[in-house]
Structure 1
Amino acid sequence: MREHADPKAPLAAALLLAAGRGERMRPLTDTCPKPLLPVRGRPLLAWHLDALARSGVRRALINTAWLGEQIPATLGAAYPGPHGTLVLDYSMEGRDFGHALETAGGIARALPRLDSVFWLAAGDVFMPDFPYDPAVRTQFLASNALAHLWLVPNPPHHPLGDFGLDDEGRALDLPPHQCSERWTYSSVALLRRELFAPPWCDIPPGNPGGIAAPLAPVLRRAMGAGRVTAEVWRGTWADVGTPERLAAVQG
């Protein structure tokens, strides 16, 4: 393990996921990490950075693996967006372990460097108008929820969706035949660090062993206890997972 959290360093209020290989985007991702592919003349990841800065977030952490050195080389230690400077730090999974740790593994790796409540977003999702509203974060802090998810209408490539939503705003892990309506997880969420501790997650903070693990089972455990809330986002959203979807968002 090469990476150590500085106990005196300010904690990041957001984690952006940028470690994936982007297999379906090949050959474009053979030489460029998917979050750096240009969308409307700017790196895809820059749209999240602008939205975070616009909402008052001042420090974000980005995890990397595939071609990971390109991301800090491109974005640097500070992102001078039009709405304020966003300080950037990096969790270099590829450098430290030789591979990506998947979502839960990557979060656990970054956990000592994240605030007690933090925003999460995938770097390959185009969601330029999302507000990262501090008032919603405050409301989440006052609740007993471990996670708050933003769901979107199901896109053509994912017609059955991921989760249901009850009348009290709780996310439901029910199969399609038991749920009148299911939605797709947008990849944006507010999370508590507590979610990445037993009984929800068994990966040690900092993930010193480099355990690769997905996020969905962690969320489903918390949903079973009624500790995950959600709401529907009807603004611009696209999972930029293939060259065809990349072309569709160029506008």
Structure 2
Amino acid sequence: MKRYAALTLAFVLATSPAAAERLITSLSSHQVLVSSSFTGTELVLFGAIERDSATVSRKGGYDIIVTVSGPREALVVRRKDRVVGIWTNAESNTFLDAPTYLAVLSNKPLDEIAPAEMLRRLDIGMNVVPRMHVAAGIESGEETFRDALIRLRKERHLYIEDPAGVTFITPTLFRATIRLPAESPVGIYDVDVRLFADNTNLARASSALEVVKVGIEQFIVTAARDHGILYGLFTTLMALMTGWFASIVFRRD
């Protein structure tokens, strides 16, 4: 039995591909503080490709794809129709597990790095956005609801595709700039870095960053979440006092 186990282990080790490259990455900051004056920020991701003696020559060089995915939540997309001359909401679809923020950064267009099927399998690119089976194939013009979701989030700079977002400083050192807009959602963001060469995914490195509110905004959010009844009573009392004070100030005798 022991001999059989040893032979099996030797066979697995002999047939398993050696990891010739390894990714080492670091973020300039793992926490972003959001206050009332927050107008957005930029984080820098630095990375290095570590090679060992078994590394084969990569004729086409290396490629990097960085995917930054924000907290997931339900996002609703509505289609407007003109009814009796008035624009009103018609059909809608809810994406139950969509990233609120998504940045896909690379050193060249994705289709030049890997085949589309591989990118879909690895959840790279806008493939991270869940696909919906829209009832009866409803479309808004030439766009499906999913296309509309991606377009609208891009307009708000919450979805980003940048084929020049990764820059190689040397053949094995690179950097990428992660831009977070002013309305970046609060929560944990996953940072996924993948190394490619010759249409093959060679290595992967993962990390995370956190966007948190600070100051009076965080106090209000925490109070509303943790002490809902007291918060409601306090805001109601404040509204009554404000109305009473206004009636005194602007009273006409």
Normalising by structure 2, report the TM-score.
Answer: 0.23
Higher strand proportion (structure 1 or 2): 2
